Amino acid sequence: MHDDARKEVERWVEVIRWLDGERAVVRCPGDHHEADGSPPMIFMGSSPYVHCFHDSCASWCASTNRELASLFGENPELEREPTPEEKRAAEFKKRCYRLKETARHQLLPTLKPVDPVGWLDSSPVNVQVPVHEQFALFMGLFPGDDIIWTGERNESGEASVCAFRMARQWIERGRPYGQLVSVFNFKPDVLSNGLRQAKYTHLRRFLILESDDLDLPQFGGVITWMKQFSRLRALVLTGGKLDKPITSVHAYFEPPSWPYPWEPLEFQSFDWAGKHIDIHELAENGRYYRDDPAFARREKSAWRSGKIARIEWQWKLTAWRHKYVELLSILEGLACDGKMLRSNLTARCPGVERRDEHGRPTGRWQELIYLDL
pLDDT tens for 79-97 read 556 677 767 877 888 888 8
Ramachandran bin of 117, using left for φ above 0, alpha for ψ from -120 to 50, beta for the remaining angles: alpha
Bridge partners, residue 25, by sequence: 17, 41
The candidate with the shortest Cα–Cα distance to 336, out of 153, 241, 213, is: 213
- Altogether, the residues listed in the chain come to a count of 373
Contact between 364 and 354 under an 8 Å Cβ cutoff? The reply is yes
**For the segment 260-303, what is each residue's pLDDT rounded down to a tens digit?**
655 444 444 545 455 555 545 544 554 444 455 555 555 555 55
Nearest CA to 132 out of 368, 299, 340 is that of 368
Confidence at residue 267, expressed as pLDDT on a 0 to 100 scale: 46
Question: Which backbone phi and psi does 195 adopt, to 5 degrees?
Answer: -90, 115
Neighbour count for residue 146 (Cβ, 10 Å):
20
pLDDT digits (tens, 9 = 90+) for 205-257: 999 999 988 988 999 999 999 999 899 999 999 886 544 545 689 999 998 87
pLDDT at 32: 62
Q: Are 333 and 99 in contact (CB under 8 A)?
A: yes
| Gap between the Cα atoms of 49 and 187, Å rounded | 42
Q: How confident is the model at residue 311 (pLDDT cuts 50, 70, 90)?
A: low
Instruction: Using a pLDDT cut of 90, give the percent of the chain over it.
Output: 28
More confident residue, 362 or 347: 347
Mean pLDDT highest for which of 107-121, 274-288, 306-320?
A: 107-121
Question: For the chain, how big is the Rg over CA atoms in Å?
Answer: 26
Contact 17, 6 (CB under 8 A): no
**Higher per-residue confidence, 314 vs 1:** 314
CA dihedral 267, 272, 275, 278 (to 10 degrees): -30
Q: Is the pLDDT of residue 259 over 90?
A: no
User: For residue 201, what pLDDT is reported?
Assistant: 87
Average pLDDT over residues 329-351: 88
Q: How confident is the model at residue 105 (pLDDT cuts 50, 70, 90)?
A: very high
Edge-to-edge strands of the sheet including 352-355? Answer: 207-209, 249-253, 232-237, 361-371, 352-355
pLDDT at 317: 74
The values of phi and psi at residue 366, to 5°, are -85, 115
Instruction: Tell whether the model's pLDDT for residue 60 goes beyond 60.
Output: yes
Q: d(Cα 207, Cα 218) in Å, to the nearest integer? A: 19
- Contact (Cβ atoms closer than 8 angstroms) between residue 122 and residue 370: yes
Q: How far apart are CA 271 and CA 250, in angstroms?
A: 49
Residue 146 has pLDDT above 90, yes or no: yes
Q: What is the mean pLDDT of residues 152-171?
A: 89
Report the pLDDT averaged over residues 135-146. Answer: 93
In terms of pLDDT, which residue wins out, 196 or 280? 196
Name the pLDDT band for 74 (thresholds 50, 70, 90): low
Distance spanning both ends of the chain, measured CA to CA: 55
Q: Which of 43-47, 172-176, 214-218 has the lowest mean pLDDT?
A: 43-47
Q: How far, rounded to the nearest angstrom, does the alpha carbon of residue 79 sit from its chain's CA centroid?
A: 34
DSSP 8-state code for residue 104: I
Q: To the nearest 10°, the Cα dihedral for 248, 250, 251, 254?
A: 160
Q: Which residue has the higher pLDDT, 339 or 20?
A: 339
Q: How far apart are CA 146 and CA 52, in angstroms?
A: 43
